[in-house]
Amino acid sequence: MLTADDHIRLERRQRGGVTTAEIWLDRPAKGNALTMAMIERLGTLVTDLARDRDTRVVVLRSSGRFFCTGGDIAAWGSLAPDVMERDWLLRGSAVFAQLAGLPQPVVAAVTGHALGGGLELAMAADLRIAVKAARLGCPEVTIGMIPGWMGTGRLAELIGPARARHLLLLGSSISAAQALDWGLVTAVAEDEADLDTQLEAWLERLSANAPTAMALVKSILGGLHRDLAQQHARAAAQAASTEDCREGVRAFLEKRPPAFRNR
């Protein structure tokens, strides 16, 4: 039986005498959707990497046609609001904050669609490169939910409040090219081979930079996100407690359009 250790794994690679850590999402049959066990596994890996002075760069990668489709609805859809806030939203936000707060630069290699919590995960990275065929978006409102892992704030910071409203309120996705234009990704690749080529150039450059200087830059920028996790988690838990969200989850699982009643 596969476990979270199988679905999220760590690989270390040597490039010119410098170590790069690759965190792989490997649950392709489920679109790399995140479970609580996977989030805990990610948190353990990130805690270890934060103490690892030999690793210079961290890369987020994925198997299959999706980068990540977000939180697994089967994992959170039936949780009571208070349990969801404490065990799912706040814990997930804490792990994503740990990831964003790593002293090493973090690069998200988006080789497939990044949606919902998957986009939130990618936004916790410092740099994002996406293949041209990838789409990025926040579809949570289509099932009566909102981003719960600090995604609303991070999205507004990256692309501005007006464009964040476009993605969050419409619940739609945008192409990698549009994401580049909006500043949501840093670069676009023609395909996975081109992505690997561009990624290698980034890793070579990042590995040559002074680790302490990059860590200090990250520490200054990271202050923008402090003290917001509780606000995000409470709002998401409130959304999850509505009849509309319960209807949205049922409709998603039953593969039909939801019938929202504003309750």
Catalytic residue ranges? 120, 140
Residue range 186-199: mean pLDDT, rounded:
97
State phi, psi for 170 to the nearest 5 degrees. Answer: -80, -25
Q: What is the pLDDT of residue 232?
A: 65
Tokens of 183: 């500043």
> Which CATH number does the domain 4-191 belong to among 3.40.309.10, 3.90.226.10, 3.40.50.720, 3.40.190.80?
3.90.226.10
Answer with the residue of higher pLDDT: 183 or 249. 183
Q: Are 47 and 80 in contact (CB under 8 A)?
A: no
Has residue 226 got a pLDDT over 60? no
Q: What is the pLDDT of residue 81?
A: 75
d(CA 84, CA 241): 10
Tokens of 115: 């949606």
Has residue 176 got a pLDDT over 60? yes
Least confident of 26-40, 126-140, 222-236: 222-236
Count other Cβ atoms within 10 Å, centred on residue 204.
13
Q: Are 62 and 68 in contact (CB under 8 A)?
A: yes
State phi, psi for 7 to the nearest 5 degrees. Answer: -80, -25
Domain ranges of the chain: 4-191
pTM for the structure as a whole: 0.89
CA 89 distance to own-chain centroid = 13
Has residue 30 got a pLDDT over 90? yes
